[in-house]
Structure 1
Amino acid sequence: MTYPALRTWIGGVAEDSPEHDGSWLHDPNTGEQLAPSASSSLDQVDRAVAAAARAHDDGRWRGLGPEERADRLEKLAAWLDDRAEEIAHLDALNSGVPITVTRLFGGANGATLRDAARRATASGDVRDLPAEQGGVRLHRVPWGPTALILPWNAPSAMAVKKAAFALAAGATIVLKPSSFSPWSAQVLMEGVRESGIPEGVVGLVQGGGAIGRALVADERVAAISMTGSTPTGRAIAATAAPRFARLQLELGSNNAAVVRRDADLAQAAKAIADGVLKLSGQWCEAPRRVLVDRARRGELAHLLVEEFGRRVIGSSLDDTTEVGPVAFADRHRELAEQRERLAQRGAELLQVAQVPAQGWFFAPTVVVLDGPGLAEEVFGPMLLVGGYDDEDEAVRLANTGQVGLAGYVFGADEEQAAALGTKLIAGEVKVNGTSVLDMSPASAQSFFGASGLGGHGDDDVLDFFVGKRIVGRDRPGLPL
């Protein structure tokens, strides 16, 4: 297969990415080298931001209005619909996520664009506000050039989601995909060119941390939307703070699942195993810790590892695979090191015995250990199971450490389970399920604690990319 060249896109034109550090993109299923990595230069970062700034200043995109922007986004959506299988294949190679899942992401990219355009059109760029004197209007105004920093675990879905809502809102953008998963962003850029989005509105730079740091440090970048690790998010926040750049940061969280005493353990184990193993264990809202009545801790742990053992582990390109490899060698090494640290603390390790010998397959593991676990996020197919004596202790443990994204509660009495869920520090708490998708089309979810800034309900995401400006005739006769 021919893989997309890692080009830098500036002003609607693809350029070579001239910097090389000798690293390669690999097939996570085998460890085979597939293509050399490439990085943009710092000059290219500067020029990409300059192009986005010019496009913002002259209004060539936001000035079209939401309906015309929606027409262009519909063309991009149709173009991506036609490339869905190619995108699914590239994402499965870049992330280790099974192709049955990356097909769902690739097939939904067009719908994401259409939904963002629909929401922006419904909101409008300008609307009249009630005022007795009349002539008062609310204007939704993009902040300015916006940096989109993308994660590696859902490459096309995150690139399209961030770009769709930013573009629908009228913002100009510069994307930086992860250096581990850059290919589907290249396909997206080809679609941007074909769909008639004006030159300079969308740029793309390639590379690792140095390129990301240069992009977010640029004084012209007015807003930054990033999904990734907590250390990277802290660094971005520190860089952006002096100029008060707007931030949306979705970071790490060791999400807790509380299993109440009335729960069916077998049903809970199946749902929790489904949750932790989705995307080969690599999604930010996966359950990472399970808290259960201490007397039933061993029973639940063994049910979980039995569920792990029922999953088909294999190549991310195989249609029968349910759990693929982790995305790259460093991810595998970090998981192995975390597992060893937990073992040194006295944890019992229960893991699937058979995984492929080649590639970056990490044996799905249940770690039996009381307490909050590791301070940092565990991002892969590994789950901590600990006990509690009463639900007050369960809530205290669930809210300890790096938390804030998601939580889960399992119990036969769903009303009582939901009541317990309101006590968890999390933006989203699901009862008796671990699905990836939102529970409601109107969902809104804030990032609590150290899990980030902002949120990712769809209307919230759209609102992030704009400021609100009131313009109109002042009220006559006011006393002050």
Structure 2
Amino acid sequence: MTYPALRTWIGGVAEESPESDGTWLHDPNTGERLAASASSTLDQVDRAVAAAQEAHDDARWRSLAPERRAEKLIALADWLDERAEEIARLDALNSGVPISITRLFGGANGGTLRDAARRAVEVGDVRDLPSTQGGVRLHRVPWGPTALILPWNAPSAMAVKKTAFALAAGATVVLKPSSFSPWSAQLLLEGVHAAGIPDGVVGLVQGSGGIGRALVADERIAAISMTGSTPTGRAIAATAAPRFARLQLELGSNNAAIVRADADLEAAAKALTDGVLKLSGQWCEAPRRVLVDRERRDELAALLIAEFGRRVIGSSLDDATEVGPVAFAARRDELAAQRDRLADAGAEVLSVSQTPAQGWFFAPTVAVLDGPGLADEVFGPMLLVGGYADEDEAVALANTGQVGLAGYVFGADEEAAAALGTRLVAGEVKVNGTSVLDMSPESAQSFFGASGLGGHGDADVLDFFVGKQVVGSDRPGLPL
């Protein structure tokens, strides 16, 4: 198959990305080189932000009624629908996520845009507020040029979600995809151009950390939405703080699962396996640590490794694959180092044996060790199982370390399990399940603890891109 050229998009024009650090994009299934990496220049970053600033200042996008913006977003949705299979294959190569899953993402991108368009029309840009004197209105005003810093684990889904809601809100944006997974963003920009979204409203820069640092450091960037690692998030927050740029940061979390005494261990093991191996283990809300009654710890560990062994491990491009490789060699190597550190700390390490020899495969692993586990996030197909004496200890362990995104509780008494879930430091706690999707159409989830700033939920995401401004006639005769 052919791969999209890594262009830089500025003012509606695709330019060459002329910089190179000598690195390559690889097939994670084999380690084969696929295409040379390419990077924008610092001058291109400057011009991309300038184009976004100009488009914000002259209001070529935000001055359109929400209904008109929605028409363009729906046109983009239709364009992406026609390329869903191509996007799925590119995402499977860029991330190592099985194509059966990337097809779900690719097929849902159009729906994401339509949902954002519908919500923006429902909310509107201006509404009248109750007032005795009349003429008081609430305006939703985009902050200004917004940087969208994208992760590598769900390339098209994250690029489309952030872009859809930013555009629905009337914001102008500059995207910076991960250098490990840049292809979906290229197609998205082609679609933006084809859909007739005005030039300069959406820009794209390519490259690794240096390009991202230049983008978020630009004084004209008024808001930053980023999904990625905690160290990167901390660096962005430090850079943005002096100018008070608005931040939405979804970072790492070693999400804990508590298995109560009344839980069905076999059912819990199956659900936990489903959760930790989704997206080849590369899912920010996956269960990472399991806490179970100490007397049943080894029993649960045996059930888990047996479940791991039943999953089909293979190429991310194979329809039958359930667990693919991780996205790049450094990700595999870091997981191996974390596994070895757990072993050095006394963990019993259980791994499946049927992992392909070539490519960036990491054998799905269960590490058995009491205590809080590693301080750094484990981002891959590895699960720590530890014991607890009582539920107070389980909660204390679950809330230790880098937490805040998600939590899980398993138990036959679902009301009691849910009550236990309210004690976890997590924005979303699921009982007896580990699905990726929200539990309700109105779900909203804040990033607690060190897991970031802001939150999930369509209303929250749309609100991030705008400030609220009240304009109207003052109330007469007020005493103060």
Same fold (TM over 0.5): yes
Q: Does 1:192 align with 2:192?
A: yes
**Unaligned residue ranges in structure 2 (runs of 5+):** none
**Unaligned residue ranges in structure 1 (runs of 5+):** none
- Whole-angstrom CA distance in 1 between matches of 2:110 and 2:260: 40
Structure-2 residue corresponding to 1:17 = 17
Structure-1 residue corresponding to 2:363 = 363
Structure-2 residue corresponding to 1:411 = 411
SS in 1 for 2:445: coil
- Whole-angstrom CA distance in 2 between matches of 1:161 and 1:102: 15
SS in 2 for 1:35: strand
Where does 1:352-391 land on structure 2 (aligned, <5 Å)?
352-391=352-391
Structure-2 residue corresponding to 1:439 = 439
- Whole-angstrom CA distance in 2 between matches of 1:458 and 1:219: 28
Structure-2 residue corresponding to 1:458 = 458
> How far apart are residue 133 of structure 1 and its match?
0.6
> How far apart are residue 362 of structure 1 and its match?
0.3
Structure-2 residue corresponding to 1:155 = 155
Cα deviation code 1:73-123 (max 9, x no counterpart): 000000000000000000000000000000000000000000001111100
> How far apart are residue 250 of structure 1 and its match?
0.0
Letter in 1 for 2:293: D
Letter in 2 for 1:92: A
Cα deviation code 1:192-246 (max 9, x no counterpart): 0000000000000000000000000000000000000000000000000000000
Structure-2 residue corresponding to 1:131 = 131
Letter in 2 for 1:21: D
- Whole-angstrom CA distance in 1 between matches of 2:178 and 2:263: 40
Letter in 2 for 1:295: E
Structure-2 residue corresponding to 1:210 = 210
Cα deviation code 1:398-425 (max 9, x no counterpart): 0000000000000000000000000000
Structure-1 residue corresponding to 2:227 = 227
- Whole-angstrom CA distance in 2 between matches of 1:199 and 1:420: 51
> How far apart are residue 354 of structure 1 and its match?
1.2
- Whole-angstrom CA distance in 1 between matches of 2:346 and 2:266: 26
- Whole-angstrom CA distance in 2 between matches of 1:306 and 1:32: 31
Structure-1 residue corresponding to 2:74 = 74
> How far apart are residue 65 of structure 1 and its match?
1.6
SS in 2 for 1:476: coil
Where does 1:15-164 land on structure 2 (aligned, <5 Å)?
15-164=15-164
- TM-score between the two structures when normalised by the length of structure 1: 1.00
RMSD: 0.3
- Whole-angstrom CA distance in 2 between matches of 1:150 and 1:440: 25
Structure-1 residue corresponding to 2:249 = 249
Letter in 2 for 1:254: N
- Whole-angstrom CA distance in 1 between matches of 2:360 and 2:55: 43
SS in 1 for 2:405: strand
> How far apart are residue 159 of structure 1 and its match?
0.1
- Whole-angstrom CA distance in 1 between matches of 2:421 and 2:458: 22
> How far apart are residue 471 of structure 1 and its match?
0.2
Where does 1:253-332 land on structure 2 (aligned, <5 Å)?
253-332=253-332
Cα deviation code 1:26-75 (max 9, x no counterpart): 00000000000000000000000000000000000000121000000000
Q: Does 1:426 align with 2:426?
A: yes
Cα deviation code 1:115-165 (max 9, x no counterpart): 001111100000000001100000000000000000000000000000000
Letter in 2 for 1:347: A
- Whole-angstrom CA distance in 2 between matches of 1:471 and 1:20: 50
Letter in 2 for 1:138: L
Matched-pair identity in %: 85
- Whole-angstrom CA distance in 1 between matches of 2:132 and 2:122: 25
SS in 1 for 2:199: coil
- TM-score between the two structures when normalised by the length of structure 2: 1.00
Runs (4+) off by over 2 Å: none
Cα deviation code 1:288-332 (max 9, x no counterpart): 000000000000000000000000000000000000000000000
Letter in 2 for 1:316: S
SS in 2 for 1:404: coil
Cα deviation code 1:377-411 (max 9, x no counterpart): 00000000000000000000000000000000000
> How far apart are residue 456 of structure 1 and its match?
1.0
- Whole-angstrom CA distance in 1 between matches of 2:206 and 2:65: 30
